[in-house]
Structure formats: C-alpha cells, structure tokens
C-alpha cells in the first residue's frame, strides 16, 4: 500500500535539488525570463550532477525519464524507486524555476520517451544525448492520433516528411524524438517515434517562439523534408499491431505526465509559500486550528488553495509510486496531470490577486505566466479528463470522443 510520507532515502536527493533551486535557479529566474532565447550558461555545472543521479538507477532531479520496472512477480513489497525520485526532484527544481529546469541539458521530455520505450541497445547508444520531443503539428494540438508527419522505409533508412510545432528545447537539444506515421491508412497503430539527431540532412529548425511563460526555455518549429533517419533509430518495434493500437508510443505519457504534474506542483508550492509570507507580514494570520469561515477572508482563501495543492501533490505521488511498483498507471497519470495543471493555474492567479503582486517586483507575476503551459502541454485539461472518463467507463477512443 502507498505510504503518503516521503521516503527517507529520498531525503538527500530532495535536499540537493532544493539547494540547486534556491541558490542557482531563483537568483537568475527573472534574468532569463527577460532574456528570452538566451541559453542559461549557469546550468552547465549541474548537467554532470543530474547525469550521475539519473544513471544511478534511482532517478535524478531533472525531467529525464525513467525506465518502467519489469513484471517479475518474485519482487514483493513496497518499492520507492526512480519514478518517485524523479517526481520529488522535479518538484524541488520547479519550486526554483520551471523554465530553467526545461533548459537543463539532457533532461528533456525526449529523454523520457527514450527511457520509456527504447531497447537496451538504444539506451546505451543514446546515452548522454539531450533529446526534445516533437508531437504537435500545425493541423492538430491535443489529438496525438492525428499525426500526419510520415515515415517511409527506404532501404536502411526511414524518410521523414512533415512539420512539428511547440517543441520544447527544439533548438538547443542534440536530437528530437519525432512522432510519425508509417501508414496513414492503418490509423493510430502505425504511429511510431524516431530519434532524429541534429545535423541530419532535411532536418531544419524553422524558428523559435516568443512565449507567455517558461521564457528561459526555447520552443521551436521544426521541419522535416526527405529527412533520412537510420532505421535503428525507431524506438520500439517497427511492426504495426492494430490490436495493440496506439499503446506503444502512448506509454511515453504514462511516464511524462506525472513529471509535468510535478512541475505544476513545484510552481504552486512556490506561489503559496510567497503568498503566505506576504499575508503574514501584512498581519493576516492563517490558523490551521480554526474553521476557514471564522478567519480573515484572505486566510480562508489561502487554506482552500493549499488544500487543492495537497490533493494534486498526493495524486502525483500515487501515479509515480504505481509505476515503481509495476502497476498500470495510465488513469492515475492523467488524473494527476489534470488536477495539478488546473490547480497550479488557479493557485498562481489567486496568489497574485491576494497579494496584488502584478508587477515584476515579485516572482508571483512570473509564476502566474509560467503556470498556464503546465495545464496545456503533455495533453490539455480536456484531453486528460477524456482519458480519465474512458478509463473509468471502460470506453475506447472510438466510443467516447
């Protein structure tokens, strides 16, 4: 059974991540919010540290993915492993700055994709690579099954053609995990992911976007025109299994959605802590031993926001714990992402409202802008609710749209 307390063995990791967030991320947070598209050179010193934490097998403090444990029934008892550790570390780092975490070398969401579905040989070959993930296209947003980028086998290579938008770290990363279809007529089952390295002929970074939030990270538009990718760079199996359908590439989201939920929780906690400090300094007492309706209106609102945060936090820990303990977590991953994404937006905006921190004098203004993307990428609020409904009702994607 899940234990709601943070495992003691995660204490050192959490402390390291918190120190990095407090001593490096926070002091330069506003600097790179203003200097959009400038690479934060201060992050380089942390890349080796996080690489070591991730390669230890117990997970690091970045956004790198982790490999799901096998199904060996001989392994009994409660296990707190890499999934939970990465989530806990991500919360701390995003308490510092979510945009800077997304800018960390070799901690991209593409790394999570590789960690989820790559073969052992691919894991070794792509070790040390910084990988972005490219799914969204100009013609669709949240419906990942609508991928129109094509991959055609030609000898020892796949030839990719198409365009991808809103690719986090698309310009800075060493490679991009690209979702493409092998055969449009076969629907979702034909969608596969390919590791496309920078410098590959036919692969072009068209532009980087100016954004509302997470401005420290780069978000790019990519184009693939007769881009030849070695067939060994296809992640997972090349066979099109119509019975298994979309499950192969979608497994990636079971690992990345808890991470995005953790990012939201980190931002929400930062906003709540700063708001509590400001309210306390203004003479507003937040009393946990009295009913909310018997307190100052601002204190009552703060208690409501804090309860919302706690529920999102626990859902996220549950989804990561389930992955560590070999339990299917697709439903819980979507629940955590939906709850955390919605909560962080409301919490950040309400904190600005409660404190009046609408200018750049306070990081609350920045966190309110950063929060919105956490409710959008890796599947919007509406998509998560649709997935949850399908899982609970036992409906397929064709039966419940």
Quick: pLDDT tens for 236-259: 888 887 666 555 566 678 878 999
pLDDT at 364 over 90: yes
Whole-model pTM: value is 0.91
93-102, 237-246, 296-305: least confident range = 237-246
pLDDT at 63 over 50: no
21 pLDDT band, cuts 50/70/90, is very high
Active site residues: 378
pLDDT in the model for residue 62? 46
Q: Examine residue 106 and state whether it is found in any structural domain, yes or no.
A: yes
Say if residue 121 is in the same domain as residue 139. no
pLDDT in the model for residue 76? 61
The pLDDT > 90 percentage for the chain reads 68
Count of structural domains within the chain: 3
Q: Do the beta carbons of residue 216 and residue 249 sit within 8 Å?
A: no
Say if residue 251 is in the same domain as residue 389. yes
Q: What is the mean pLDDT of residues 201-213?
A: 98
Q: Where is the domain boundary, 93, 125, 157?
A: 125
Tracing tokens 């550790």 back to the chain, one arrives at 85
Say if residue 275 is in the same domain as residue 386. yes
DSSP for residue 140: B
Say if residue 23 is in the same domain as residue 47. yes
What CATH number corresponds to the domain at position 209?
Answer: 2.40.110.10
Say if residue 321 is in the same domain as residue 186. no
Q: Roughly what angle, to the nearest 10 degrees, separates helices 247-281 and 363-374?
A: 160
Q: What is the mean pLDDT of residues 44-68?
A: 56
Which of 294, 299, 291, 309 has its CA nearest to residue 275?
299
Residue 236 C-beta-side C-alpha neighbours within 13 Å: 24
Say if residue 352 is in the same domain as residue 252. yes
Q: What is the mean pLDDT of residues 366-377?
A: 97
Say if residue 78 is in the same domain as residue 156. no
pLDDT in the model for residue 118? 87
Say if residue 296 is in the same domain as residue 347. yes
Give me 400's structure tokens: 């419940």
pLDDT at 105 over 90: no
Say if residue 119 is in the same domain as residue 178. no
Report the chain's mean pLDDT, rounded to a whole number.
Answer: 89
Q: Where is the domain boundary, 201, 235, 269?
A: 235
Q: Do the beta carbons of residue 63 and residue 89 sit within 8 Å?
A: no
Its domain, for residue 288, covers: 247-393
pLDDT at 353 over 80: yes
Say if residue 162 is in the same domain as residue 109. no
- Phi-psi group of 326: left, alpha or beta (phi > 0 → left; psi -120 to 50 → alpha; rest → beta): left
Q: What is the mean pLDDT of residues 278-293?
A: 97
List b or e across 99-129, with b for residues whose CB sees 16 or more CB atoms inside 10 angstroms. Answer: bbbbbbbbbbbbbbbbbbbbeeebeeebeeb
Say if residue 86 is in the same domain as residue 205. no
Q: What is the mean pLDDT of residues 206-216?
A: 97
Q: What is the mean pLDDT of residues 117-122?
A: 89
pLDDT in the model for residue 323? 87
pLDDT at 60 over 60: no
Say if residue 25 is in the same domain as residue 116. yes
pLDDT at 82 over 90: no
Q: Among 68-72, 144-148, 237-241, 297-301, name the most confident range.
A: 297-301
188 pLDDT band, cuts 50/70/90, is confident
Q: What is the mean pLDDT of residues 124-133?
A: 92
Q: What is the mean pLDDT of residues 211-215?
A: 97
pLDDT at 147 over 90: yes
């Amino acid at each position: 059974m899940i234990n709601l307390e943070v495992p003691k063995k995660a204490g050192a990791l959490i402390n390291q991540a918190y120190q990095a967030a407090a001593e490096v991320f926070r002091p330069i947070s506003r600097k790179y919010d203003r200097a959009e598209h400038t690479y934060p050179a201060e992050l380089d010193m942390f890349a080796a540290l996080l690489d070591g934490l991730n390669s230890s097998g117990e997970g690091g403090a970045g956004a790198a993915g982790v490999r799901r444990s096998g199904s060996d029934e001989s392994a009994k008892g409660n296990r707190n492993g890499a999934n939970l550790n990465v989530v806990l570390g991500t919360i701390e780092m995003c308490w510092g700055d979510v945009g800077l975490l997304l800018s960390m070398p070799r901690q991209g969401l593409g790394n999570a994709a590789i960690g989820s579905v790559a073969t052992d040989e691919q894991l070794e070959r792509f070790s040390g690579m910084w990988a972005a993930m490219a799914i969204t296209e100009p013609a669709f947003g949240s419906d990942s099954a609508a991928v129109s980028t094509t991959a055609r086998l030609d000898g020892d290579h796949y030839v990719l053609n198409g365009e991808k938008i809103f690719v986090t770290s698309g310009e800075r990363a060493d490679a991009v995990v690209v979702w493409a279809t092998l055969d449009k007529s076969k629907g979702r089952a034909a969608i596969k992911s390919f590791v496309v390295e920078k410098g590959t002929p036919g692969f072009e970074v068209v532009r980087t976007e100016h954004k509302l939030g997470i401005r420290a990270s780069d978000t790019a538009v990519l184009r693939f025109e007769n881009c030849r990718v070695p067939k060994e760079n296809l992640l997972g199996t090349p066979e099109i299994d119509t019975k298994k359908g979309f499950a192969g590439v979608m497994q990636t989201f079971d690992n990345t959605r808890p991470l995005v939920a953790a990012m939201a929780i980190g931002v929400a906690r930062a906003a709540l802590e700063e708001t509590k400090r400001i309210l306390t300094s203004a003479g507003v007492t937040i009393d946990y031993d009295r009913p909310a309706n018997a307190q100052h209106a601002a204190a009552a609102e703060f208690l409501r926001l804090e309860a919302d945060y706690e529920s999102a936090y626990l859902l996220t820990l549950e989804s990561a714990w389930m992955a560590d303990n070999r339990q299917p977590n697709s439903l819980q991953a979507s629940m955590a992402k939906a709850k955390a994404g919605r909560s962080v937006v409301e919490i950040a905006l309400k904190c600005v409202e409660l404190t009046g921190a609408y200018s750049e004098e306070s990081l609350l203004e920045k966190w309110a802008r950063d929060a919105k993307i956490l409710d959008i990428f890796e599947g919007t609020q509406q998509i998560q609710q649709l997935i949850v409904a399908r899982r609970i009702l036992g409906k397929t994607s064709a039966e419940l749209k």
